[in-house]
Amino acid sequence: MIGQSQSGTGKTAAFVLTMLSRVDFSLNKPQALCLAPSRELARQIMSVVAAMGKFTPVQTEYAIKDYLPRTATNVTAHIIVGTPGTMTDLLRRKVIDPTHIKVFVLDEADNMLDMAGLGDQTLRVKK
């Protein structure tokens, strides 16, 4: 699905609600990945996930540079929000197990595809 509309119309809330509705809270495995072109946007998205998931047992994790320790070996959060480079690195090192992913969100996909390298990294994460 592709959603396109002006700022402030609720796109983030729409895809966060979709992620939350598809998570099986009894399964402590990553089930939704959300990529954003910048750390700031990833933090904003995570604040929406936290607010909308406040009364659920959702577990979340960032996949942004310098957030997870380099020694991390296994992420069990239901929803992971991050940037393409860090997400690619965590998947490559098998810190994130993609087996149970049900939802894959690209926020501002047009911007990521335009930015040098982010389009390629995004496609690697998808694979």
- pLDDT tens, 32-85? 999 999 999 999 999 999 999 999 999 999 999 888 877 888 999 999 999 999
Residue 110: pLDDT over 80: no
Instruction: Specify the long-range contacts of residues 66-71, CB closer than 8 Å, at least 24 apart.
Output: 68/95
**pLDDT value, residue 115:** 67
Other Cβ atoms within 10 Å of 69 Cβ, number: 7
Q: Quick check: pTM over 0.95?
A: no
Q: Could you give the dihedral angle defined by the CA atoms of residues 75, 78, 80 and 81, in that order, rounded to the nearest 10 degrees?
A: -160
- pLDDT given for residue 43 in this prediction: 96
pLDDT digits (tens, 9 = 90+) for 1-22: 777 777 788 899 999 999 999 9
